[in-house]
Structure 1
Amino acid sequence: MAATLKDVAALAGVSVKTVSNVVNGYGFVKPENRRKVEEALAATGYRPNIGARNLRRGKTGFIALVLPELSIPYFGELAALVITAAQRHNWNVLIEQTQGTRDRERSALTAMGPHMIDGAILSPQALAAEDFAAFHREIPLVMVGEHAVDVPIDHVAIDNVLAARTAVRHLTDLGRRRVAAIGRNPRRGTASLRMEGYRAALGEAGLPVLDELIVPATEYHRRDGAEAMRHLLSLPEPPDAVFCFNDLLAIGAMRAAADHGLRVPHDLAVVGFDNTEESAYSIPSLTTIAPDKSAIATTAVDLIARRVAEPAEDFPVQDIQTPFTLKVRESTAARPDA
C-alpha cells in the first residue's frame, strides 16, 4: 500500500502537520525536523496525492490550450513549450484543436469550465466578443497571437507589423525590387498585421505595392505556398523575392520555384515566418522571423497562475509583447554580381 503522511510522521518522529509543511514547501520548519522528514519521505517512497491537494486548494490541476491546428508546426512547438511551462506550476495541459471555426472554439471552452480547468490559453480565429464575455468571468483566459476582437482579457504576442517590416526590409536591402507576399487572409488577424508590415516596408524602400504580387492563402500549408508560387511565376514579370506569412507557405513556395527551374536565392529570395524546426533543415535553409515561442508560452502560463492567485481587481488586464528576431539563412543569401 502507498505510504501516508501518518507513516512518514511516525518514521520521522514528528507531527503529521510538520510532514505536510515539508511536502507543501512551507518554510517554517526547523532544519533538523526537515531533514528527518526528507529522509522518511525517501525511505517510505511517499508520493503526494496531487488531485486531493488541488481539491483542497480549490484548483483542478489542469489548464486548457485551445489551438487551431496541431499539424501546423508552430502550434505543435508552442504546445510543447506550454506543457513545459505548466509543469512548473504543477499543472497538466488539456489540448483542443478547433480548425479555427467559431463553433469548435466555443464548444472547447464550454466543455472545459471551472469544474475541469483553472484557466485557458487560446489562439482563436473566429470567436466574437460576446463569446469571450461568457467565459472570462468564470476562468482566467489568455489569448496568444492576434484576433481582431475587443475583449478585456490578457494577451501575449509579438509585434507582427514590425516583424513583417523587418522581413521585407531584409529583402529590399538585398536589392530585391519585386517582392511578393503569400498569405493574405481576412480571417486571420495575424495576416492583416503582417500585410500592414509588408506594405510599410515597401513604402520605406520607395517601392509600389502591386496587387498582382499579393496572393491570398485560405490555409497555411505547404501545398498552399506552392500553389501561390506557381501563380506568381506565371506572371509576365515574376517576383524576385517573396515574403511568406509562415514557414510552411515558404517551403511550399521554394518547392514550386525549384520545379520551375529557379535557384533560391539566386533567382528568388524567400523569407518565412515562425522559425519552426523544419526551416533550419530545408534545402536551402529558410530565412525566417523567429518569435520567442518559449517566452510566449511561459508568459501565458504565468499570467494564468497570477490570475488564479490574485483577485481580478488587483491585477489589471495585461497586453504583453514578446521579442522576435530575424534568422538569416541560405534562402536570402546576397545575389552574386556575376
Structure 2
Amino acid sequence: MRIKLRDIAERANVSTATVSRVLNNSASVDERTRAIVLQALTELSYPMYQEGILQHTGNGIVVAIRGVDSESEPEEQKRESQDISSFNTIIIDGIERGLRRKGLHMSLRRAIWEAPAESDLHHLTQADGVVLIGGIISVQVIDALEQANVPFVLTAAHAGEREINCVLGDYIRGAAQATTQLVRLGHRRIAFINGPSITTTSQDKLAGYRLGLCEAGLAYDAQLITTTSEFTPNDGYQATQDLLARTRDFSAILYAADMLAIGGLRALKEANISVPEQVSVMGFYDEPITEFTMPTLSSVHIGWQRIGEIAAQRLVALLERHDEERLRISIPTTVILRDSTRSVGGNLPPTLSS
C-alpha cells in the first residue's frame, strides 16, 4: 500500500500541504518544520526520501481534464468531440498560479470522465489532492475519490444535488442576464440553443433563460429551444439549421457557448439572414475568439482564471485543515455587448457591458 502525504502529515503533525512543500523544496518552510517532515519520511520509508535524497515521484496534486475518446473511435468523430474551447487552459493557469503561491506543484491528467478507465481512477485515488475540470463528471469518479479519502474540487460545473466542493460561474444568473439584455434591446422572441441536457451547466443555463423570460413577462415557447450533443461549432451550425427549419419567428438567439454561436453565425449567413440587422446573436463564456468573429460576438463573461485560483485555494484549505465542509462557490457573470447584437429599432446599444 502506497504511503500518502496525509500519512506523513499525521506522523509529523503538520498539514499535507506542508509535506508537499517540503517534497517540492519550497523555501516557504522553516528549517525546524522541514527537519520534522524529513524525519517522518525516513521513519515511514517513504519512497520519495531515501538516504537523504529527496525526490518527488508520487502523483501529488493532479489536475484532471477531459480527453479524447478511445483509439477505436473514428478520427473525424475524435476531432469533433475534442473540447476546442480555451477556458480549460485559462482555468489551469489559474490553478497553477494559486498552487505556486503556496509553494505547491501540479501534474495534468486527461481522461474521459463520463466513463473513466480503471487506470484513470487508480491514478486519481493515488493522488494527494485533485482538481477536476468539468463538464460531465461521472458519479464513479466522485465515489472513487470520496472512498479513497482524496480531497478534491470540481471546477466549471457542479454535481447537481450531490454536495461536493466546486467552483463555477453563476450560469443561471448569466443566462438570465443575457436574456434580460436582449429584452432591453427590444427583442421579444428569443431563441435558445443549449448544450447537452445531461450537463449541469446546460440545465442551469436553461433555468436562467426561463428566469429571464419570466422576469420580462414573456412566455416560454418550446419551439424556440434546440439542444445539442456537444459544444462544438458544428453542433451550433446543425442546431441553427434545425431551428430555422422549424421556425423563423424570432429576432435573437442566445447560444449556450461561444463555439456554438460561431457555428450558428455560419448557418445564419448561409440562410441569408444578416447579423445583427435581422437577428441578434449572443454567446456564452466570452472566449478570446469573440473579438475576432464577423461580426464580433456579444457574450456572457466568466472569470475563468479566477475560478482556477479559487479552486486551488479551496484545495489547499482541504489539505491544510482537513475541512469537512462542502462549498459550492459561484462567480458572478457579466454581459459584454459587441457588434452581433443591436436593438430591434436599429440603434446600437449605448454601452458595451451590462
User: Normalising to structure 1: TM-score of the pair?
Assistant: 0.76
Match of 1:64 in 2: 63
Match of 2:21 in 1: none
Shift of the alpha carbon at 1:331? 0.9
Q: Deviations over 1:98-127 (max 9, x none)?
A: 3452335x753422333x443333425141
1:101-250 alignment to 2 at 5 Å? 101-104=114-117, 107-114=119-126, 116-128=127-139, 131-136=141-146, 137-250=148-261
Match of 2:331 in 1: 322
Shift of the alpha carbon at 1:97? 3.2
Distance 2:247 2:55 in 1: 70
Q: How many residues align?
A: 291
Is the contact made by 1:61 and 1:91 (CA closer than 8 Å) also made in structure 2?
no
The alpha-carbon distance between structure 1 residues 94 and 109, as it changes in their structure 2 partners (threshold 3 A), is farther
Helix, strand or coil at the partner of 2:129: coil
Higher RCO by CA contacts (8 Å cutoff, separation 6 or greater) = 2
Which amino acid in structure 2 is aligned with residue 112 of structure 1? L
Is the contact made by 1:70 and 1:97 (CA closer than 8 Å) also made in structure 2?
no
Q: Which runs of 5+ in 2 are unaligned?
A: 1-24, 33-47, 68-81, 348-354
Distance 1:199 1:92 in 2: 42
Is the contact made by 2:59 and 2:107 (CA closer than 8 Å) also made in structure 1?
no
Distance 1:295 1:335 in 2: 35
Distance 1:54 1:213 in 2: 64
2:280 to 253, 261, 269: 269
Match of 1:41 in 2: none
Which amino acid in structure 2 is aligned with residue 134 of structure 1? A
Shift of the alpha carbon at 1:144? 1.5
The alpha-carbon distance between structure 1 residues 247 and 107, as it changes in their structure 2 partners (threshold 3 A), is farther
Shift of the alpha carbon at 1:242? 0.5
Distance 1:93 1:267 in 2: 48
User: Normalising to structure 2: TM-score of the pair?
Assistant: 0.73
Shift of the alpha carbon at 1:184? 4.6
Moved more, 199-208 or 213-222: 199-208
Is the contact made by 2:298 and 2:335 (CA closer than 8 Å) also made in structure 1?
yes
Is the contact made by 2:252 and 2:281 (CA closer than 8 Å) also made in structure 1?
yes
Match of 2:105 in 1: 92
Shift of the alpha carbon at 1:72? 2.5
Helix, strand or coil at the partner of 2:116: helix
Which amino acid in structure 2 is aligned with residue 175 of structure 1? G
The alpha-carbon distance between structure 1 residues 70 and 215, as it changes in their structure 2 partners (threshold 3 A), is closer
1:281 to 274, 292, 297: 292
Shift of the alpha carbon at 1:203? 2.1
Shift of the alpha carbon at 1:139? 1.6
Q: Deviations over 1:233-271 (max 9, x none)?
A: 223534211010000001111111112212211111111
1:333 to 322, 342, 349: 342
Larger C-alpha radius of gyration, 1 or 2? 1
Distance 1:271 1:319 in 2: 27
Distance 1:54 1:327 in 2: 53
Helix, strand or coil at the partner of 1:102: coil
Shift of the alpha carbon at 1:171? 0.9
Shift of the alpha carbon at 1:216? 0.8
Helix, strand or coil at the partner of 1:120: strand
Q: Deviations over 1:136-157 (max 9, x none)?
A: 3532110123344444431111
The alpha-carbon distance between structure 1 residues 70 and 60, as it changes in their structure 2 partners (threshold 3 A), is same
Q: Which runs of 5+ in 1 are unaligned?
A: 1-21, 30-50
Is the contact made by 2:237 and 2:263 (CA closer than 8 Å) also made in structure 1?
yes
Which amino acid in structure 2 is aligned with residue 298 of structure 1? E
Question: Which has the larger helix fraction?
Answer: 1
